[in-house]
């Protein structure tokens, strides 16, 4: 589905980003794996190369403008073009009510989850302008609804959805499609690190399907959006949430 295409995936060193990188490579893409933790990106890249794919791991902090510019510049230098970008890097942030939310935590979450998406798109869009492409921004079910004690995350993900819609309108005649994906609670290392088994069971019960999603299930939707099979799809938001938002 992505034969001879070049794709950037941020946050590609684990979880949903790793699953997307592996699936893209297995479908013929040359993948650039950007992650704050370069060793994690290198681990995933090594697996892709072992399977016969093409992968370039890079240490990138998406909250830094120079890093985002350098990511696109290196992609163009090594592979000659950019066809697909998945802006997936994100962090959870502190758990606190709005009136007590730590300002430094707010800035950190916004810096990665919203500013990071903007900074990446700021350089991805010009790189795609001549030949078109597909950008997929990773939002969340919390890009559409609230969730107590998660003000920064919720606000940032709502912002990602709005930014996606705006960019889709601006670049629709340039052949660049921009869409957002909204995972529900997905079983990833980030979730396992921050929640106890009992908490995970409670969250699974909040979904009509009574389970958590998998990174691979999210990756399958992202692959479709990245491909030419989704050629008339732009400015859209796609939940992958086991029915969470239908309640």
Query: What residues act catalytically?
Result: 153
Ordered strands of the 237-240 beta sheet: 54-59, 30-35, 6-10, 84-87, 133-138, 176-183, 237-240
Crossing angle between the packed helical segments 103-113 and 115-128, to the nearest 10 degrees: 20
Distances 41 to 26, 34, 73, 157, 194 between C-alpha atoms, Å? 17, 7, 18, 24, 22
- Kindly state the tokens that stand for 245: 């938002």
Whole-number Å distance between alpha carbons of 169 and 162: 11
The answer to whether 155 and 144 are in contact (CB under 8 A) is no
């Amino acid at each position: 589905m992505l034969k001879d295409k070049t794709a950037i995936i941020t946050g590609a060193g684990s979880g949903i980003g790793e699953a997307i990188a592996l699936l893209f490579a297995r479908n013929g893409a040359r993948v650039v794996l950007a992650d704050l933790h370069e060793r994690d990106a290198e681990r995933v890249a090594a697996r892709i190369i072992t399977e016969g794919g093409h992968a370039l791991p890079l240490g990138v902090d998406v909250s830094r403008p120079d890093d985002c510019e350098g990511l696109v510049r290196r992609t163009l230098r090594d592979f000659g073009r950019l066809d697909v970008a998945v802006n997936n890097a994100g962090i959870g942030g502190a758990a606190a009510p709005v009136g007590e939310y730590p300002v430094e935590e707010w800035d950190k979450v916004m810096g990665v989850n919203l500013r990071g998406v903007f900074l990446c798109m700021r350089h991805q869009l010009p790189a795609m302008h001549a030949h078109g492409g597909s950008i997929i921004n990773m939002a969340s079910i919390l890009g559409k609804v609230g969730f107590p004690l998660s003000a920064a995350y919720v606000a940032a993900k709502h912002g990602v959805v709005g930014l996606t819609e705006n960019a889709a309108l601006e670049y629709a005649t340039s052949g660049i499609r921009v869409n957002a994906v909204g995972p529900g609670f997905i079983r990833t290392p980030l979730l396992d690190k921050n929640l106890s088994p009992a908490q995970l069971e409670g969250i699974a019960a909040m979904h009509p399907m009574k389970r958590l999603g998998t990174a691979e299930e999210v990756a399958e939707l992202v692959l479709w959006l990245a491909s030419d099979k989704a050629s008339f799809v732009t400015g859209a938001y796609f939940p992958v949430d086991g029915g969470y938002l239908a309640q």
